[in-house]
Amino acid sequence: MTRPDSGAAVFTGLVDLASAAIGGRALSTNDEFFAECQNLVEPTEPVFLPDEYTEHGKWMDGWESRRKRGPGHDWCVLRLGASGVIRGVDIDTAHFLGNHPPFASLDATRADGDALESATWTEVLPQSPLRAGSQNLFAVLDPRAYTHVRLNIFPDGGVARLRVYGDVEPAWRAVDDELARRHVARGDVDLAALHNGGLALACSDMFFGSMNHLIAPGRAANMGEGWETRRRRGPGHDWIVVRLGGRGSVHVVELDTNHFKGNFPDRCRLEGIDAAGARTTDLIAHDGWRTILDEMKMQADERRFLRDEIVERGPFTHVRLSVYPDGGVSRMRVFGQRAES
């Protein structure tokens, strides 16, 4: 498992809209002879296995086309896991040294489905030079929200990962999990969900699992897909601050320690604050946090829906989950109603 603090550069405060962890996927490509383009959106860091080969040649953890012997260039079309405004791009050529593309560009479009034959594409990143075996970070200046991107490489070669960092366009999807539907009233939405514009702003620690995992879609497949802190050897406790996708009142809270058995928190507490537009640093030290859930015991590998335990319902713009003293939480859902503007 790769630690989130492994040294990779990221656009902080933004979500990787293309990540397979939130539903991003490859739709089509003109060539993936050596390695499939679906690898571009894998959330893990790329690896290199020196002795691994396939029937086509060297196995590579990325997308790699064959050597082009004629005119043209190679491309891959991806559906973003969450539609949104693209702020930055990382075209990572890790482990591609003698076979990386010297140039790349990125186009984007907005479509209701995946039939893109008549789509109008907008160039959001012009043809730009790439370094071999490196992250290649580019800013994007386009205020529009998109659903799909097309990576163009010139003329051919291999790219390990494509990260498309941006602001999620809230989808406000209905609750689609059968168990959650039994506990949540019709019309309630998950105010904290990443797909609804929720964003983890800050946390005390995320040594084993990234903070945005806490509000990712679906249930985690393993511990690595949750938020987990290192073992605390001194005083204090761990915490995470989440900006809700919209200001709203809290009706039900779901806390899930799925897969966390010997490393779940002993206790937890949830607080909320109504502070639209507040800076993250101000929120951390703010004295206006109000109790949503009093400090309570947690259990291993358990999915809990809490309604009667809620002390105050808001409305809130942010929530803060505190875990005592440390440990891992797979998912947090904050179901409720959006407040009128």
- The full 3-state SS of the chain, as one line of letters, equals CCCCCCCCCCCCCCEECCCHHHCCEEEEECCCCCECHHHHHCCCCCCCCCCCEECCEECCCCEECCCCCCCCCEEEEEEEEEEEEEEEEEEECCCCCCCCCCEEEEEEECCCCCCCCCCCCEEEEEEEECCCCCCCEEECCCCCEEEEEEEEEECCCEECEEEEEEEECCCCCCCCCHHHHHHCCCCCEECCCHHHCCEEEEECCCCCECHHHHHCCCCCCCHHHCEECCCCCCCCCEEEEEEEEEEEEEEEEEEECCCCCCCCCCEEEEEEECCCCCCHHHHHHCCCCEEEEEEEECCCCCEEEECCCECCCCCEEEEEEEEECCCEECEEEEEEEECCC
**Residues 87, 169 contacting (CB under 8 angstroms):** no
Where does residue 121 rank: exposed (0-12), middle (13-18), buried (19+ CB within 10 A)? middle
Q: Give the pLDDT of residue 214.
A: 97
Domains of the chain in sequence order: 15-168 (2.60.120.260), 178-338 (2.60.120.260)
**pLDDT tens-digit readout, 18-37:** 999 999 999 999 999 999 99
With a cut of 80, say whether residue 83 has pLDDT above it.
Answer: yes
With a cut of 90, say whether residue 60 has pLDDT above it.
Answer: no
Q: Give the pLDDT of residue 9.
A: 78
Model confidence at 341, pLDDT cuts 50, 70, 90, reads low
**Residues 64, 32 contacting (CB under 8 angstroms):** yes
**pLDDT tens-digit readout, 167-215:** 999 989 888 889 999 999 999 999 999 999 999 999 999 999 999 999 9
Mean pLDDT computed over 49-75: 92
With a cut of 50, say whether residue 337 has pLDDT above it.
Answer: yes
Mean pLDDT computed over 265-289: 95
- CA torsion 115-119-125-126 (nearest 10°) is 130
Q: Give the pLDDT of residue 134.
A: 96
Q: Give the pLDDT of residue 12.
A: 85
Model confidence at 1, pLDDT cuts 50, 70, 90, reads very low
Supply the mean pLDDT for the chain: 94
With a cut of 70, say whether residue 223 has pLDDT above it.
Answer: yes
With a cut of 90, say whether residue 105 has pLDDT above it.
Answer: yes
Beta-bridged to residue 336, according to DSSP, are: 189, 250
Q: Give the pLDDT of residue 2.
A: 39
**Nearest in space to 12 (alpha carbons), one of 161, 284, 275, 202:** 202
Model confidence at 6, pLDDT cuts 50, 70, 90, reads low
Q: Give the pLDDT of residue 8.
A: 76
**pLDDT tens-digit readout, 290-326:** 999 999 999 999 999 999 999 999 899 999 999 999 9
With a cut of 90, say whether residue 154 has pLDDT above it.
Answer: yes
Q: Give the pLDDT of residue 7.
A: 64
